[in-house]
Amino acid sequence: MQSASAEMVWLYYDRFNAGDWEGMLGLLSKDVVHDINQGGREVGQDAFRAFLKRMARSYEEKLEDIEILGDGARIAAEFVVVGKYIRTDEGLPPATGQTYRLPGGAFFDLANGRITRVTNYYNLQQWLSLIGSGSSG
């Protein structure tokens, strides 16, 4: 039997895969901390909403082979990102519909029935190699 924390992370990823951004946001604390892969730290649901909007504009992604690790106040996850780069994202190479498969991971803090921190990670250099070659990984 999974903990309530692990179930919340599963629900977060179910909503991600369904493209249900408002549903995802409903699982987050108002002052959620979001550590962006190899980037900065943003705080709050409004910042997270803006991030999701930018991502949806440039990428079509689903997560596969999701594994949830741990329980309680801290959870980790690993997965495979299956995506398509559909619109050029600022500071990145041009999008031409490149597809990719890329391993990734995330770390979560939870408190009071909400996700309070999301830290995402994938290998940016590997992603750049995949989209630069037009490879499907």
CATH of the domain at 110: 3.10.450.50
CA distance 113 to 32: 13
The number of domains in the chain is 1
Q: Map tokens 């009071």 to a residue.
A: 112
The whole-number pLDDT of residue 1 equals 54
Mean pLDDT of 94-105: 95
Mean pLDDT of 66-94: 93
- Taking a C-beta distance cutoff of 8 angstroms, is the pair 115, 109 a contact? yes
- pLDDT tens track for 24-60: 999 999 999 999 887 889 999 999 999 999 999 999 9
Which DSSP helix (H) or strand (E) runs through 49?
Answer: helix 45-58
Mean pLDDT of 90-101: 92
> Can you give the pTM of this predicted structure?
0.89
Q: Over the chain, what is the mean pLDDT?
A: 92
Task: Enter the tokens of residue 88.
Answer: 């050029």
Domain that holds residue 11: 4-133
The whole-number pLDDT of residue 39 equals 81
Distances (CA, A) of 28 to 5, 12, 40, 104: 12, 9, 18, 20
